[in-house]
Amino acid sequence: MRSRRKGPTSSPGLLQVAGIFGLASGARMAYARRAMARKVILLVEDNPDDEALTLRALRKHNVTNHIIVARDGAEALDWLFASGQHAGRDAELVPQVILLDLKLPKVDGLEVLRRIRADERTHLLPIVILTSSKEEEDILNGYRLGANSYVRKPVDFVEFTDAVRQLGLFWLLLNQPPTRPGP
């Protein structure tokens, strides 16, 4: 018989999930924060204003995850594969989700996506393209290369924070990723 008890020993229920986004309070919210804090987000963003806006929007909605920021495509790949300037970091630490801009210096976002999907260690990682590009070609190429979703950055801060809240709700709390990379 399944327990109906909600709390730290059960999986997050809707009330616990809702608590992160201001719909519940108290112990449920604390539990959901602890669960989220164990999940790393990789933000790949070269624009300092967009980086600050994204981080502010995440904090505004109580997303307490550890956020790694890579400011170009090469740095993102080095961090993911524990190479280059990130050689020696624990390669077992993988992000719960990657928020990937497309227009990046050194290695563009589509090439970053291509390399992530080509490597067995990272090919199943959830990747959300978070970009200001509204080019149909970018959308098509992103999905062809295996992006899980494509989100256009709204210009309005309120719309942007709402988009980030929804991303956090789905990718960090509701989505169930595989427990191992797979074949």
Q: What's the whole-number average pLDDT of the chain?
A: 79
pLDDT in tens, 71-93: 999 999 999 999 999 999 988 88
pLDDT in tens, 19-73: 444 444 555 445 445 544 468 999 999 999 989 988 888 888 788 788 999 999 9
Q: Which of 6-20, 41-55, 135-149 has the lowest mean pLDDT?
A: 6-20
**Percent of the chain clearing pLDDT 70 (strictly above):** 75
Note the pLDDT of residue 60.
82
**3-class DSSP state of 32:** helix
Contacts 24+ apart (CB under 8 A), 143-147: 145/110, 145/113, 145/114, 145/117, 146/113, 146/116, 146/117, 147/100, 147/113
Note the pLDDT of residue 38.
62
pLDDT at 158 over 90: no
Instruction: Tell me which H or E stretch contains 149.
Output: strand 149-152
Note the pLDDT of residue 75.
97
Note the pLDDT of residue 92.
85
6 pLDDT tier (thresholds 50, 70, 90) = very low
11 pLDDT tier (thresholds 50, 70, 90) = very low
Instruction: Tell me which H or E stretch contains 69.
Output: strand 67-70
Better-predicted residue by pLDDT, 65 or 121: 121
Q: Are 124 and 181 in contact (CB under 8 A)?
A: yes
Alpha-carbon Rg of the chain, whole angstroms?
A: 17
CB atoms within 10 A of CB 24: 17
Average pLDDT on 114-139 reads 93
182 pLDDT tier (thresholds 50, 70, 90) = low
What domains appear along the chain, each with residue ranges and CATH number? Answer: 39-174 (3.40.50.2300)
pTM (predicted TM-score): 0.76
